[in-house]
């Protein structure tokens, strides 16, 4: 049985609207833009969200000095149960938790991801 569902990928960037316009045009997905965030979504519900980051520095792939910059948001039914399951798999709860409807974790390689309530 799966622990989570993955309907959304989040990409940090300097201009969410511009990046949403690019991916929306490339994929033929609907574009939704707000102040510091934007998203493109398929009719099936799959989405890519773009979040504005101050002083954004783009990645230099595959350089380890400035690696890729994105994280995954996964929807769960129960935050406590999902936290226990992902930590059993090797994830670490990040010390900073800015919200109450989601929790931030690091995967075994150190990439951030969030477990979110619907």
Q: Which residues, other chains included, contact 40 with Cβ-Cβ below 8 Å and sequence gap of 6+?
A: 20, 23, 24, 27, 29, 30, 31, 32, 47, 48
CATH number for the domain including 107? 3.10.180.10
Confidence class of residue 27 from pLDDT cuts 50, 70 and 90?
very high
Other CB atoms within 10 Å distance of the CB of residue 111: 15
Domain ranges, residue 33: 5-54+61-117
**Domain count of the fold of the chain:** 1
Claim: this prediction has a pTM higher than 0.85: no
What token pair was written down for 80? 């406590």
pLDDT for 61 equals 67
Give residue-wise pLDDT tens across range 42-85: 999 999 999 998 988 888 767 788 776 778 899 999 999 999 99
DSSP class of residue 88? H
């Amino acid at each position: 049985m799966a622990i989570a569902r993955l309907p959304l990928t989040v990409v940090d960037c300097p201009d969410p609207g511009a990046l949403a316009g690019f991916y929306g045009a490339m994929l033929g997905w609907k574009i939704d833009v707000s102040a510091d965030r934007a998203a493109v979504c398929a009719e099936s519900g799959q989405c890519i969200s773009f979040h504005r980051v101050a002083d954004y520095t783009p990645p230099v792939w595959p350089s380890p000095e400035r690696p890729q910059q994105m994280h995954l948001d996964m929807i769960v039914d129960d935050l406590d149960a999902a936290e226990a399951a992902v930590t059993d798999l090797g994830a670490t709860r990040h010390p900073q938790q800015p919200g109450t409807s989601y929790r931030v974790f690091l995967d075994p390689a150190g990439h951030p991801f969030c477990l979110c309530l619907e």
